[in-house]
Amino acid sequence: MSQTDSTKTETETEQEKETQKLAIKSSFLFDFETEIKSISLKRDELKDFLLLTQNQLEVNDKKRETRIKEKEKQFPKSLFNFHQECEKVFLNDWKIFKFKNRIYQDQHEIKQEIETPEAQKFEIDYEESQTQDNFTKLMNYSFESEKDEQKEDLSNEVIEDEDLNFSLLKIPNRDKALIANKTEREKNMKNLFNVYSQKDITQYIGDPRIPFKPFINSPEYQIFVEFVDLSLNFKEQLEPFYFSLALFDLRRKTRISENFYFQFNEEKFSFLPSNQKDSGISLVTQSKRAVFNISEPSKDIFLLLTISTIFQGDHEAKADIYSKPVPTKQKLYDKLKSQITDSCKKFSQFKQDFTWAMFPLFSFDRRTKQLCETFLSNKIQQFSPLYRIKDFTSEEQFFKFLGEQKATMKKQSSIPGFCSFKIARINEQNRKELFGNSTIFDPSMRVVEDNQDTKTAVLEMEDFALSAKRAVNYCFVNNLYIYPKFLTISSIKGSSIQNIEIKIQLKEDDKDIQSPGLPVFYGRILEKKFVDFRYVNIQYKTRKPHFNDEIKIALPLNLTHKHHLLFTFYNLNHKDKKQQGKELFGHAVVPIFQPDFLIEGKFQVPVCMALSSSGYLSSSELVMQEKQKNYFELESKIISSVYPQDKDVMGFLKSIEMLSRNGKEDLVQSMQVLRKHSANFHDILIQFLPVLFNVLLDIMTNKQQDDPLLREEAFHTFAQLSFEVIQIREALEVDVLQNYVDYVFNNFDNGKREIFQELVGQWNKALEHDLSQVSDPQNIQSEGNAFVNPTRFFFDLIIKSMVLYLDFNGKLNSNQRLDLFGIDFLDGMRNLVRNLNKEVVVRFIKGLNVAKRLNQAIALFLKDLIDICDVSFVFEIVESYIEALQTQDVNIQILSYEFINLFVEHENYVQFNIPVMPTYTSSTNLVEFLSQRHLLSGIIIQSVFKTLEMKDVNNKIRSIAITTLQNLLHKHDIDPRFQTPQIKSRIAIIYHLFVLFMIDKMDVYKDFPRELRRDLLISFLYILKMIDKHYFIQWWCFEGISRRIDFFQLLELCIDSFDYLGKKKA
């Protein structure tokens, strides 16, 4: 392209922009920017007051709040697009924007701070009897005084002349006296609106949008637990002891935390492989201190302690060792020690349960009916009695046992001794004392508080109750918990299978059954952070063993349908002195995917006697058959922020991954299914809300998927999911939608269209279709739908998207706003508010509350929009919106005043009305001139009188209209920014139109009830009192004789209306 052609193209582009500007301006009824430029504000003594607040918008990068110190290790690499979206949500910093100058208090808050003036006292209110007594006393006193004066005059025969004191007859300086009187009046004068008893019948709404903290789940209670000691009847420790500690809820009969594993072993047991420390052992697996989170405190929550030992045989025989008296003969004592030591050497990797105890965390005060933290006082607490295991080997049996009467519990045999722990509730005051300089790890063994010089650790435990609540995923976690329940092997021949041990591995394929599993099992006592297999505690002499163990697995991120758990079953012959006697007798296989989402819940799998060395996943033996005699039952629990546990959500995510291969049809169908079943997965929706919303918004704007059908389906799905969140909002601890807007949401850099453009366009189409289906408002049965209820959320998204767009293009807080957004977008905005206006009317006629919420959302949106778009454009929308409500059923006018009350809270409302001294002549149509010059106040004033002039309007609605204006004037009067007389007089100018209407329309309101008339006249008197005197004189000089006469008649009406008649006559 030549230089001439390039210059020509640039010129044409500039001409197009100017043409577009003129087209936009031509649609405005009032051009605010042009009007401001025509007024010389620089020479005005109040120019600082008149100018709009500049640099209203501020965009900042806020560092992503995370407790995890090693940010690069927070999220492993993944091949899936959905996981990459999760990574962005969990790790990306936030774009935060705010309106900087919205700091002054609103009308309602200021009015709450005003002291109630003292009650005024008037003579007319005195009791008549008291007044009569005073009158009699006064007359008697006057009569006696007159008689005394007459006697004195008669006694004086000569009256001497006296010189007059002419200094007493001098007239003081009149101007000085007036000034002194004025100063004294102003000093003692009460605020007009404070003295006047207002009846504020308008329900205060206020801006419901309050700032929220980011998505961080902070439990109400954090409990610190530290192991202190185990005391048994032996003076020395005969063998290693291994502990697990977890929280349970007795009333709900469920565990609410994972297990905390630790040991109590002396140095003399370091010869055991399981007790040998090397450089590979993780610091966290050596910890004897843990933190348990409690999201809902209850008297039914307690700690369950299970103590295990190395496998030795019969439970009862083992318990008898510690229950009976210690052998007094040294030979017997040495023999006992030798037997225990031999078993420890032989079976060091196999554990069996030994004893258990429980400890309540809260007590209940029946007198105060409150929970007491008696046991959380940072003192040593003893867990006792230590019950024998006996047949108690499952959680179900445990809850059954606890549910029995206390008398029955006392009969349970126990082992002499106790276990000691320090237990305390964590707070800011004791945190340093409890933790010291320890390194703190989260449940996924990531460092959250790093102290590199320390050799001690504290491990936080997973809170299952919190994960089960509707809480948003805010960081990466992908853990699987396996709970083996019981094993049935009735059809396996041979009676030697009695001591059953289970080995668990996670394999990524079935190529080789002998290959080691993935190192994904969380390390326990004195182990590496992750190991490649885990053994379940042995059950002694039973062919139908019940298990009580927890296996925690860090699932790989890139899971496939080949990933599976391999359970290998062994029989241990503990009497074989030559070897461990470990005999394999079966396998069970559990695929991780079942089939569309990860395994969770209780299920049974067949036990196979033998599996092929490779390709065993396709074996028919792995299918559970009816009346299966050999089977293994287990339970699993998923805590994952990257794998939703819902088939419809997973189907949607899969279709995104396969879009390039399968085409858009599968994606469209998956979104339709997602909408249809959206009410069935509220928990999943809340947990994955930021990621799902980001994915849907990306589909709407991604230039690589620029398909109208896809964009429309994505918006409809986005709207439906938003609607579902709103349906359950009251049950949530935070407003997750507002939180998403404030922190997570950001514009995309790969969009062909901006998000605000796409949202407005798609929303308009949906609303137009929705309205076209409603021929009669009476046909509407529901409170709303997916395109109406989330209005406030959509508006907040649009606003933030627009602000970020301006910030990215370097046009934030630009003084030239007319060309910031194209004419097509502005037309779309007009149509959007017009369509929503129709929705308000239709649903209000039906008497639905959603109309009020929709009306509020529109007011707040336009209040925000006026700081982003051209002011005149927003003025036009506001005027059209209020006018549309004013022409409808009179009851709908209540919504117009609710709208006004919200919109006028804008901090630049007064400046938008251009409070300058206007210049006009006698030929000026003053009503028209003032309506255009002071546009917003003019709209409000005209709306008030439209309501007053309507014949079918009841006095309640009239009172709402009058009080709306009265509250607005009161707000100006007490605003700390507007306290000088000069500013108050300027503000009064923008309400001059109200004075004219009061004069010209006296016939409308003069016959109103006295109280209603007074409420209207008090605003008139306030404006008259505050208005600039020079301006008033200028107006008076140009005003006609007819209006002057009416003005005095109006003053006479004021005197009559405010004439105090006394309490009895009032």
pLDDT digits 0-9 by tens, 1035-1059: 998 888 999 999 999 999 999 888 7
Domain chopping of the chain, boundaries: 221-468, 478-640
Burial (0-12, 13-18, 19+ Cβ within 10 Å), 642: buried
Tokens of 158: 């000569």
Query: What residues have CB less than 8 Å from 45, skipping those under 6 apart?
Result: 982
Which of helix, strand or coil describes residue 761? helix
Among the residue ranges 214-218, 581-585, 673-677, 835-839, the one predicted with the least confidence is 214-218
User: What percent of the chain clears pLDDT 90, i.e. is strictly above it?
Assistant: 33
Q: Which of 7-11, 407-411, 883-887 has the lowest average pLDDT? A: 7-11
Number of other CB atoms surrounding residue 1015 within 10 Å:
24
* HSE-up of residue 219 (Cα within 13 Å, Cβ side): 24
Q: Are 1046 and 997 in contact (CB under 8 A)?
A: no
pLDDT tens digits, 747-761:
988 667 899 999 999
313 or 209: which leads in pLDDT:
313
113 membership: H or E segment, kind and range = helix 107-113
Report pLDDT digits (tens) over 529-563. Answer: 999 999 988 777 776 788 889 999 999 988 888 99
| Radius of gyration of the chain from its Cα atoms, rounded to whole angstroms | 41
- The whole-number average pLDDT for the span 936-948 is 92
- Any idea what DSSP says for residue 608? B
Question: Cα–Cα distance between 957 and 947 in angstroms, integer?
Answer: 8
Report strand pairing: 530-531 vs 521-522: antiparallel
Q: Is the pLDDT of residue 630 over 90?
A: no
Greatest Cα pair distance, the chain, in angstroms, is: 154
- Which pLDDT value is given to residue 815? 75
Containing 483, the helix (H) or strand (E) segment is strand 478-489
Q: Which CATH number fits domain 478-640: 3.40.50.300, 3.40.190.10, 1.10.12.10, 2.60.40.150?
A: 2.60.40.150
- Using DSSP's 3-state secondary structure scheme, residue 662 falls into helix
Cα distance between residue 244 and residue 456, in whole Å: 19
CB 125 within 8 A of CB 1063: yes
**DSSP letter for each residue of 311-336:** --S-HHHHHHHHHSPPP-SHHHHHHH
Q: 307 φ, ψ to 5°?
A: -110, 130
Q: Is the pLDDT of residue 1063 over 70?
A: no
Q: Report how far apart, in Å, the C-alpha atoms of 567 and of each of 502, 608, 615, 733 are.
A: 7, 10, 16, 41
Contact 656, 704 (CB under 8 A): no
Q: Scan for tokens 């036990």, then name that residue.
A: 607
Q: By C-alpha distance, which of 555, 522, 641, 475 is closest to 68?
A: 475
User: pLDDT tens digit string along 899-924?
Assistant: 999 999 888 899 888 888 877 777 67
Please write the tens of the pLDDT for every residue from 219-230: 668 999 999 999
Q: Range with the lowest mean pLDDT among 265-274, 329-338, 852-861? A: 265-274
pLDDT of residue 398: 77
Report the chain's mean pLDDT, rounded to a whole number.
Answer: 81
Structure tokens at 983: 């500013």
Per the listing, tokens 């995890």 go with 68
- Structure tokens belonging to residue 72: 């690069």
- Residues 261 and 307: their CA atoms lie apart, in Å, by 10
Q: 215: number of CA atoms within 13 Å, CB side?
A: 29
Query: Residue 269's pLDDT is what?
Result: 73
For the cut 70, the answer to whether the pLDDT of residue 203 exceeds it is no
Residue 111 has pLDDT above 60, yes or no: no
In the predicted model, is pLDDT for residue 160 greater than 50?
no
Q: What is the structure's pLDDT at 844?
A: 85
Which residue, chain included where needed, has tokens 């009265």? Answer: 966
Statement: residue 676 has pLDDT above 70: yes
Helix (H), strand (E) at residue 278:
none
Lowest average pLDDT, out of 53-57, 191-195, 856-860, goes to 191-195
Half-sphere exposure for 502 (CA within 13 Å, toward CB): 28
Distances (CA, A) of 959 to 192, 301, 570, 954: 19, 56, 85, 9
Gap between the Cα atoms of 244 and 262, Å rounded: 7
Lowest mean pLDDT across 331-335, 671-675, 764-768 = 331-335
| Alpha-helix runs per DSSP H in 935-1009 | 935-949, 955-974, 981-989, 992-1000, 1002-1005
State residue 29's pLDDT score: 57
**Residue percentage of the chain with pLDDT more than 70:** 78
**Pairing label, strands 289-294, 457-460:** parallel
Q: Between residues 14 and 694, which one has the greater pLDDT?
A: 694
Digit-coded pLDDT (tens) for 1010-1044: 999 999 999 999 999 999 998 999 899 888 899 99
Identify the residue with better confidence: 304 or 234: 304
b/e burial code for range 588-597 (CB count within 10 A of at least 16 → b) = bbbbbbeeeb
Q: Which residue has the higher pLDDT, 43 or 797?
A: 797
Compare 712 and 466 and report the one with higher pLDDT.
712
Rounded Cα gap, residues 674 and 651, in angstroms: 9
pLDDT value at residue 507: 95
Give the pLDDT band (50/70/90) at residue 992.
Answer: very high
Average of per-residue pLDDT across 294-322: 86
**Is the model's pLDDT at 363 over the cut of 80?**
yes
- Give the confidence band of 242 by pLDDT, cuts at 50, 70, 90: very high
The pLDDT-based confidence of 897 (bands split at 50, 70, 90) is very high
Q: If you average pLDDT over each of 270-279, 342-351, 365-374, 716-725, which comes out highest?
A: 716-725
Determine which of 312-321, 571-580, 897-906, 955-964 has the lowest per-residue pLDDT on average: 571-580
Q: Which residues contact 707 (CB under 8 A, 6 or more apart)?
A: 664
Task: Answer positive or negative: Cα dihedral of 1055, 1058, 1062, 1066.
Answer: positive
How does residue 118 score in pLDDT terms, banded at 50, 70 and 90?
low
For residue 842, give the amino acid letter. V
Which tokens go with 749? 């850099």
- Residue whose entry in the numeric block shows the structure tokens 């059209």: 880
More confident of the two residues 579 and 681: 681
Specify the pLDDT at position 159.
42
**Cβ-based neighbours of 858, under 8 Å, separated by 6 or more:** 791, 795, 833, 836, 837, 840, 881, 899
133: its two tokens: 């007594």
Cβ contact 134:123 at 8 Å:
no
Integer Cα distance of 989 and 920 in angstroms: 14
Beta bridge partners of 638: 480
Does the structure show a pLDDT above 70 at 104?
A: no
Q: How far, CA to CA in Å, does 88 sit from each of 448, 658, 683, 793, 797?
A: 20, 21, 21, 22, 18
Residues pairing with 536 in the sheet: 502
What's the pLDDT score for residue 989?
Answer: 93
| C-beta of residue 457 within 8 angstroms of C-beta of residue 441 | yes
Beta bridge mates, 633: 486, 604
What stretches of 552-663 show up as alpha helix (H) in DSSP?
647-657, 659-662
Token pair 């439970």 is at which residue? 315
Which tokens go with 486? 């019981």
Handedness of CA 760, 766, 769, 772 (dihedral sign): negative
| pLDDT, mean of residues 298-325 | 86
The answer to whether residues 848 and 780 touch, using CB atoms and an 8 Å cutoff, is yes
Q: Tell me 310's DSSP state.
A: E
Q: What's the CA gap between 722 and 737, in Å, rounded?
A: 8
Backbone angles phi, psi at 501, to 5 degrees: -125, 145
Instruction: Please check the confidence at residue 491 and state whether its pLDDT lies above 60.
Output: yes
Q: Is the pLDDT of residue 132 over 70?
A: no
Q: Which two tokens stand for residue 952?
A: 């079918």
